[in-house]
Structure 1
Amino acid sequence: MNKHVEYNPEGVCARKIEFDLEDGKLHNVHFTGGCPGNLAAIGKLIEGQEAEKIAGILKGNLCRGKNTSCADQLAKAIEENK
């Protein structure tokens, strides 16, 4: 299954998260807005990885006292688009 996902995160600096799901693996992860260096690094680190595994790792990571983070929002986007 191949799918392109565009997700509008809530409660974080990033305004959009985009990625492709190909046979359950993440590709082309891109954040619009947010901390560009850190978010680009996340995309590189998770390229080609199993989406469900990555969602499990990133889910619940918080940013500066918020109830979420860009990584947590990516996990939510993955879970909503399995």
Structure 2
Amino acid sequence: MTIDYKTKGTCSSRMLIDVEDGVVKSLQVTGGCNGNLQGLSQLVAGMKVEDVIARLDGIKCGLKPTSCPDQLAQALKQSL
């Protein structure tokens, strides 16, 4: 299943998340901090969806109430 998620409150604008059998296979992010998001994409590949949510949910970026990692968690929550 591919999740096409429009982010809210972050520099990134869109996430394409490929999930298969409850495991994140790949993550592509449009916009945002390129190096950090490439790193995030590599780190979550192969992780169970529930583990990604548990680790990233609630992370904030500076004074913003959310972050790209938090938005990934929100997208994955909606897919459950």
TM-score bracket, normalised by the shorter chain, equals over 0.9
Task: Kindly provide the CA deviation profile for residues 34-65 of structure 1, in whole angstroms up to 9, marking residues without a partner as x.
Answer: 00000010000111110111111000100011
Counterpart of 1:78 in structure 2 is 76
Give TM-score, length-normalised by structure 1: 0.95
Identity of aligned residues (%): 36
Q: Given residue 47 of structure 1, which amino acid in structure 2 is its aligned partner?
A: A
The gaps in structure 1 that reach 5 residues or longer are none
Post-superposition Cα deviations, 1:54-81, rounded to whole Å, max 9, x if no partner, equal 1110001000110000000000000001
Point out where structure 2 has 5 or more consecutive residues left out of the alignment. none
* CA distance in 2 between partners of 1:25 and 1:80 (Å): 15
Equivalent residue pairs, number: 80
Normalising by structure 2, we get a TM-score of 0.97
Off by >3 Å, runs of 4+ in structure 1: none
Residue aligned with 2:16, SS: strand
